[in-house]
Amino acid sequence: MQQNLPQTLALLARTPAALNALLRDLPEAWTLSNEGENTWNAFEVVGHLIHGERTDWMRRVKIILQFGETREFDPFDRGGHIREIQGKSMAQLLDEFARVRAENLGELRALNLRQEDLERRGRHPALGVVTLSELLAAWATHDLTHLHQISRVMAHQYREAVGPWSAFLGVLKCAGHSSAS
Amino acid sequence: MQQNLPQTLALLARTPAALNALLRDLPEAWTLSNEGENTWNAFEVVGHLIHGERTDWMRRVKIILQFGETREFDPFDRGGHIREIQGKSMAQLLDEFARVRAENLGELRALNLRQEDLERRGRHPALGVVTLSELLAAWATHDLTHLHQISRVMAHQYREAVGPWSAFLGVLKCAGHSSAS
């Protein structure tokens, strides 16, 4: 399907509550364990989502609306979550994610974007020309990438514990699809 | 890590609320779309989770405790969700999943399982001898398999809409790992 703003907003609005329900007060054996060297645990993923809210998605929306293709987006700092998580608890991160996401969606709704706005183009430092519609679709799909990742990272912790059931549990066959998703 | 009953319970207890936060009142374009022929949409996955609560996990716990390896588990009906979802709304399924899961966890807690109980063995119709500990670990990991699946199935709906961002979104590279997970 095409990107559809109400559908995109509906998903973006639900992710913080879904992660909150899954992760708040969950034992740290689930949330602080990763898949091995240079992989993220669920705590780091929530930090990464916060960092995207602060520095990436809405900022890029505004760059497209203000400058179009003439001003390239700032590159996203994939290590930026490290500052977000330092000294914080999972509960703090979940609260923070809910807050910054709600602020961003408030700003996005206030823009009252029309169909012709969604076709406006910007310039991504690696991907080249992209549309505002693609940016919004990517924002929502990025949430799903990390929900997919969190479920895989947590399942990995029970890889041995499930014994022969590993043959039936698809998530244990997923090797991940990039360095950090 | 080894299966640990409090950790397993903590995860099993959170899945209904996580799915509720993600899926309740979400547009049907997300929840009723699948990945193509013979694949499940999110609505069907919730039906499958309910069916597992009613016919599979706790029933198998009890078979192990009562009969050990002498009585093979009943096979799980992978089409059983069809009866669960007929004529229902997503909201009804989410309510039902929360209810049957809570009932099962109440029963599981009431068993006051000790470490030696977790080592008891049962017989799976396809996998052969399994332990109670493996069964409990598989129950929790099965939730994660389907959270992983739901995030992938929903992301699939924006496969085209994200344009060039598909290169960066790991979930779009996940081909699924079995017919229904």
Q: Does the distance separating the beta carbons of A172 and B141 come in below 8 Å?
A: yes
Dist CA A107 CA A177 (whole Å): 32
Bridge partners of A112, per DSSP, are none
Average pLDDT over residues A52-80: 96
User: How many angstroms separate the CA of residue B26 from the nearest CA in chain A?
Assistant: 6
CB contact residues (below 8 A), chain A span 75-114, against chain B:
none
What ipTM goes with this model? 0.96
**Predicted pLDDT of residue A5:** 97
Compute CA distances B72 → B52, B57, B62, B131, whole Å. 17, 14, 12, 13
Q: Are the C-beta atoms of B19 and B108 separated by less than 8 Å?
A: no
Could you tell me the end-to-end alpha-carbon distance of chain A, in angstroms, rounded to an integer?
23
CB contact residues (below 8 A), chain A span 116-145, against chain B:
124, 127-128, 130-131, 133-135, 137-138, 140-142, 144-145
The torsion angles phi and psi of B122, rounded to 5 degrees, stand at -135, 180
**Predicted pLDDT of residue A12:** 98
Dist CA B118 CA B149 (whole Å): 29
Dist CA A119 CA B164 (whole Å): 15
**Predicted pLDDT of residue B179:** 45
User: How many angstroms separate the CA of residue A162 from the nearest CA in chain B?
Assistant: 4
Compare B171 and B177 and report the one with higher pLDDT: B171
**What pTM, to 2 d.p., does this model score?**
0.96
Dist CA B30 CA B40 (whole Å): 12
pLDDT surpasses 90 at B180: no
Dist CA A127 CA A26 (whole Å): 37
User: How many angstroms separate the CA of residue A170 from the nearest CA in chain B?
Assistant: 5
Mean pLDDT of chain B: 95
Bridge partners of B128, per DSSP, are B124
Q: How confident is the model at residue B178 (pLDDT cuts 50, 70, 90)?
A: low
Average pLDDT over residues B7-24: 98
Average pLDDT over residues B4-8: 97
Question: Above pLDDT 70, what percent of chain A?
Answer: 98
CB contact residues (below 8 A), chain A span 13-32, against chain B:
14-15, 17-23, 25-27, 29-30
Average pLDDT over residues A82-89: 95
**Predicted pLDDT of residue A178:** 58
Angle at A55 between CA A49 and CA A59, to 5 degrees: 120
pLDDT surpasses 70 at B146: yes
pLDDT surpasses 90 at A43: yes
